[in-house]
Amino acid sequence: MVAAGARSVKNSRIRICKKDHLFSTILNEKRKIWVYLPKCENDQDDAKQQYPVVYLLDAEGHFRSFTDTIQQVDKLNGNKLFPDMIVIGIPNTKRSRDLTPTHSIYDVKGKKEPIFKLSGGGEKFISFIEKELMPHVDSTYPTTANRILVGHSLGGLIVIYTLINHTDLFNGYVASDPSMWWDSKKTLNSAREVLKQQRFNGRSLFLGIANTMPAGMNIAQVRSDTSAKTKHMRSVLELADVLESEPDNGLNFRYKYYNGDNHNSVPKITGCDGLQFLLGMVD
């Protein structure tokens, strides 16, 4: 694994404090990362200060809004709403490969989708994060051992997969409207079994659910519906039910339904609420 030196960057579209990269032997490709550091604006590093790390999937779509969120200041007292933290944004190279834990060529409506031909590389992607990316981040930036994984849609799917299969890799998990319908709900069905058998002490999960139901429907109708048009939302609601059905497995869990947000608008508010929930536990 060879890493390039980080450098300061200013971009009018996306606020990135540093751009960095490393070559992944696991994925056999160069991977870029976008790095937000708490003191990047004045470029001063306090060698004694260390920070928790958020690993943010789909960085192209969420890095700017997420880092803007954690920089929010209370208008009444001028204090920051969130403690300082490092954010590692992971842009995609082959999204449908990395963010899917199993292979399937079908979309949520059951139609063949060419972009899913490479799907099923999620385990290798997690291995890249654990064995290559995390060691690089920890050796380059002032990190603590507290780590949070944040993902939306397929990214949310891989968040849940990581929680149940690599539980100790992160302290906290934020899944925003995850695609639990993927591959005939294999990850959802696996979660149902693992959550019964495994302990999750010291781990927290925040689940955000968007309003993706067709006009004129309510949640009760979505739950009883069997059509493709509600498949995504039904699968996320089912995940919430599964999580709530196992209150004694040690997992610190909360979910929230956002009636006023759709699949595309929900990541920002889920990220904000999720951090507030998780940081009550994570130092």
Domain chopping of the chain, boundaries: 7-278
Overall pTM > 0.85:
yes
pLDDT at 11 over 50: no
What number of other Cβ atoms are within 10 A of residue 75's Cβ?
6
pLDDT in tens, 190-222: 999 999 999 999 999 999 999 999 999 999 999
Q: Given pLDDT bands bounded at 50, 70 and 90, which one contains residue 5?
A: very low
Q: Which residues contact 220 (CB under 8 A, 6 or more apart)?
A: none
DSSP reduced 3-state for 53: strand
| In the predicted structure, residue 74 carries a pLDDT above the cut 70 | no
* pLDDT score of 281 more than 80: no
Instruction: Report the alpha-carbon distance of residue 43 to residue 46 in Å, rounded.
Output: 10
Instruction: Report the pLDDT averaged over residues 149-174.
Output: 98
Looking at residue 6, its pLDDT comes to 37
At 60, is the pLDDT very low, low, confident or very high (cuts 50, 70, 90)? very high
| Residues 82, 74: Cα–Cα separation, whole Å | 10
7-278 maps to CATH 3.40.50.1820:
yes
Q: How many CB atoms lie within 10 A of CB 245?
A: 11
pLDDT at 282 over 50: no
At 13, the pLDDT band (50, 70, 90 cuts) reads very low
Taking residue 30's Cβ as centre, other Cβ atoms within 10 Å add up to: 12
Confidence of residue 72 (pLDDT cuts 50, 70, 90): confident
pLDDT of residue 221: 96
Burial class of residue 193, CB neighbours in 10 A (0-12, 13-18, 19+): exposed
Single-letter amino acid code for the residue at 269 = I
Q: Provide the pLDDT confidence category of residue 46 given band limits of 50, 70 and 90.
A: low
- Give the model's confidence band at 16: pLDDT under 50 very low, under 70 low, under 90 confident, else very high: low
36-59 b/e (C-beta count within 10 Å ≥ 16 → b) = bbbebeeeeeeeeeebbbbbbbbb
